[in-house]
Amino acid sequence: MEVTIPVTQEHISAGSPLRLGYCPVALAIKPLLNDNVRVAVTWATVGFFTQEPYFRYDNTPLDTDTAVSIKHYDNTGQMVPFWFTLDIPEWALKS
């Protein structure tokens, strides 16, 4: 399901560069997910995975602008708030 996600200053301030599950983009995505779903964000993709009730994994590509923002954040620790859209697997989303 395609979702529009805001990355806020709060996410940016709480984020950690080079940590797949703790960058501002990951922090913006987490509240949308079921409690048993984990997220890992790279410069190019977002991975969703769970082990409950069985192992499941999906990988979704990021748009170029979001990928560039993440790479810049990882290299400098700086990012400005923005919005992006992402195709999140239905099984990963909160009901």
- pLDDT digits 0-9 by tens, 30-74: 999 999 999 999 999 999 999 988 999 999 999 999 999 999 999
pTM for this prediction: 0.94
Closest CA to 86 of 57, 62, 56: 62
The residue behind tokens 């620790």 is: 77
Q: How far apart are CA 52 and CA 75, in angstroms?
A: 34
Q: Is residue 14 within 8 Å of residue 30, measured between CB atoms?
A: no
The CA-to-CA distance between both ends of the chain, in Å, stands at: 12
